[in-house]
A and B are shown apart, each in its own frame.
Chain A
Amino acid sequence: MHITEGVLAWPVLAAGAAVAAGGAALALKRLEEDRIPQAGILAAGFFVASLVHVPIGPSNVHLVMNGLLGLLLGWTAFPAILVGLILQAALFQFGGFTTLGVNTVIMAAPAVTVHYLFRAGVRSDNRTLSLVSSFLCGAAAVLMGSLLVAASLVFTGEAFLGVARLVVVAHLPVTVIEGVITAFCVVFLKRVKPEILEVLHAR
């Protein structure tokens, strides 16, 4: 899901950088002190998740974990993913520094979106509803990310539908796996550490 350097045109890069910087600044301002360690741990999880490869399907893809991150962090997903991507670019040579902004938006915007879309469902006491919402939260975040990749590639002259199909199909196994992982994490957290999910009730 990382777009490499030298692929995108500069207006796309600039727009991505602006949105990413704005989102991160906004989120950091609103970030409460006692949730900073949690954001750090999730950023670290995101950083490492990219090393877990899913050897199914036509392409070479890895876990993203932006759904779980968004669900638990909301807007803080922006700085968390930005930090994770900086380190991935610096240490793993994934993506690149010029594409940092675009890649942040590609993964963080869906994260924030699923937070607001599914948090009501996830916190529900109805077990089935909560489970289904958690699954959709993880899956939808990857799906939206794939569509954003396709959208940013459109401006380089590739046909949207063609690329979108390619990226979505390539990430299909990851989409399902992340849905399952997210559902599993929510069930686990509800049982073991429900206070982490308190964020779902806030604001």
Chain B
Amino acid sequence: MLASRRSLWLLVLVPAVIFLLHGKGAQAHRVYVFAWVEGDTVYTESYFGGKRKAAGGTILVYDPAGREIVRGETNEEGIFAFPLPGRMDLRIVLEASTGHRAEYRLGADEIPGGGEGSPGPAVQTKQESTTRQDALGGDEAPGSQGEGSASVDAEAVRTVVEKALDERLNPLVRSVARLRQDQGPGVTEILGGIGYIVGLVGIYLYARSRRHGKGDD
């Protein structure tokens, strides 16, 4: 009787404590590193799960062949910036002290095109501006000459638009990436883990009691 009342209390208390802890922002104990490109510079930001900046960590940057190309230390804000080494997949590794490590892959497609650019969008912009020019400039014949000037314009427009978009979108990209990475353990995980342990105890006890052939008590 007493025992059952006690376990009832536990059933109420344990989840309550967990919700309390969770509400207070119990955070994952991991480091994260995230990188983005602005112009010709790659910025990396490192932080612990609790949104605490990881200062003084070492950032190692590897090219697709696995060679280390950049090495540096994060500042007080957890930021480390280095010049863009070119359009390629970069593997950015953070080594925070005392055995913490995180990795981020900056794909070539996440790097805004400098000169050569990615072919897909470029062609599209070209066509768009050509048609627009056709619509506006009625006197200009839609020949090879018109197309040439349109492509020059498209190039300029593309650079301006890309720059503006970068400015607008970068904060958004950063927060999305953070959201994607920084999912601390939820109540589901916590209760699931506890349930798992209870289950293990049950299975172990069951196995033992069967072996001894006295499963009745």
Contacts and interface: CB of A to CB of B under 8 A. Distances in A.
Contact of B201 (A37, A50, A92): A37
B101 A40 contact: no
B39 to A, nearest CB: 31
Interface of A: 2-8, 33, 36-37, 39-40, 43-44, 47-48, 50-53, 55, 59-62, 83-84, 87-88, 91-94, 149, 152-153, 163, 166-167, 170
Contact of A33 (B21, B28, B48, B208): B208
Contacts of B189: 91-92
Given A36-B208, A40-B197, A87-B196, A149 B99 contact: yes
B198 A40 contact: yes
Nearest to B183: A93
A7 B100 CA distance: 8
Contacts of B108: none
B50 interface: yes
Contacts of B52: 60
Interface in B180-216: 184-185, 189-190, 192-194, 196-198, 200-201, 204-205, 208-209
Given A7-B95, A94-B28, A153-B99, 4 more contacts: A37-B201, A53-B29, A60-B27, A61-B29
A53 B27 CA distance: 7
A149 B196 CA distance: 28
A93 B28 contact: yes
26 contacts: A2-B99, A4-B100, A4-B102, A6-B101, A6-B103, A36-B204, A44-B193, A44-B198, A47-B193, A47-B194, A47-B197, A48-B18, A48-B21, A48-B193, A50-B29, A51-B26, A52-B21, A60-B50, A83-B197, A83-B200, A87-B197, A88-B193, A92-B185, A149-B98, A163-B98, A166-B97
Interface of B: 18, 21, 26-31, 48-50, 52, 95, 97-103, 184-185, 189-190, 192-194, 196-198, 200-201, 204-205, 208-209
A42 to B, nearest CB: 10
Nearest to A47: B193
Contacts of B28: 92-94
A44 B29 contact: no
Given A60-B48, A60-B50, A61-B29, A40 B98 contact: no
Contacts of B197: 40, 43-44, 47, 83-84, 87
B185 A51 contact: yes
A91 B187 CA distance: 11
Contact of A167 (B50, B98, B192): B98
A91 B193 contact: yes
Contact of A60 (B49, B102, B208): B49
A50 B97 CA distance: 19
A3 B96 CA distance: 11
A8 B97 CA distance: 13
A55 to B, nearest CB: 8
Contacts of A3: 99
A3 B192 CA distance: 23
Which of B18, B21, B185, B193 is most buried by chain A, counting CB atoms within 10 A of its CB? B193
B98 A166 contact: yes
Nearest to A3: B99
Contacts of B196: 87
Which of A37, A48, A91 is most buried by chain B, counting CB atoms within 10 A of its CB? A48
